[in-house]
Amino acid sequence: MIRIGGVLVSPGEGGVYGERMIGSYRVWDPRRSKLAALALLGSEIDLAPEMRVLYLGAANGTTVSHVADYVEVVYAVEFAPRPMQDLLEVCRRRRNIVPIMADAGRPERYAGIVEEVDLLYMDVAQPDQAGIALRNLRFLRKGGTLVLMLKTRSVDVTQSPQDVLEETVRTLTAGGLSIRETRWLEPYHRDHAAIVCEAIK
């Protein structure tokens, strides 16, 4: 991913959410995007032109639009009508985003649209985040990467964030993933951890 003077950017047309521009590059704000936070906090996660991405929890397309600036195609899944309207606006100006209005917990509903992907990215803030990730592994190629943005308070407010993270890691490992990295997203996002895994089967 490209940085200009320590600022994370993506190469694309601006005006998606009032983001600042540096020349022809869009400033990618870590407070608006957990993926930007993860990158700026030192993760080795990267995006490349030949990559295909399945993105669960696309919302209004803020992060999706930056990812699309870097990769070949983004399949963007969102189930709420209001953010989907905004996402469709973003799609009008970017030809490599495929919007899919569906529940990420029911991947069979979009199995006929999505091809095999290199990166499965998930930001859905649901109680069963690990389960949803595992159900979508069918789309991830062997050796591909899962990035799960875990909102611990959506899983269980009574457990400590660290315990929720550890339990989620155990579930993902039992589901056939190899954990590459876990990272709390402070100071940008409170009680959120990124879990980066590799699909080993």
Query: Which residue numbers belong to the known binding site?
Result: 62-63, 78-79, 103-104, 123-126
Query: Which of 46/178 has CB closer to ligand SAM?
Result: 46
Alpha carbons 42 and 80: distance in angstroms, whole number: 32
Binding site residues, ligand SAM, CB under 6 A: 33-34, 57, 59, 62-63, 77-80, 83, 103-105, 123-126
Give the residue at shortest CB distance from ligand SAM: 57
- In the complex, the smallest distance separating the C-beta of residue 31 from ligand SAM, rounded to whole angstroms, is 11
**22 φ/ψ angles, rounded to the nearest 5 degrees:** -120, 100
Alpha carbons 153 and 68: distance in angstroms, whole number: 29
**168 φ/ψ angles, rounded to the nearest 5 degrees:** -65, -40
Quickly count: other Cβ atoms within 10 Å of residue 201's Cβ. 9
Query: Which of 20/178 has CB closer to ligand SAM?
Result: 20
- In the complex, the smallest distance separating the C-beta of residue 96 from ligand SAM, rounded to whole angstroms, is 17
- In the complex, the smallest distance separating the C-beta of residue 39 from ligand SAM, rounded to whole angstroms, is 13
Query: Which of 2/79 has CB closer to ligand SAM?
Result: 79
Residue ranges of E strands in the chain:
2-4, 7-11, 21-22, 25-27, 52-56, 73-78, 97-101, 117-122, 140-151, 177-184, 192-199
Query: Which of 77/194 has CB closer to ligand SAM?
Result: 77
- In the complex, the smallest distance separating the C-beta of residue 36 from ligand SAM, rounded to whole angstroms, is 9
**129 φ/ψ angles, rounded to the nearest 5 degrees:** -65, -40
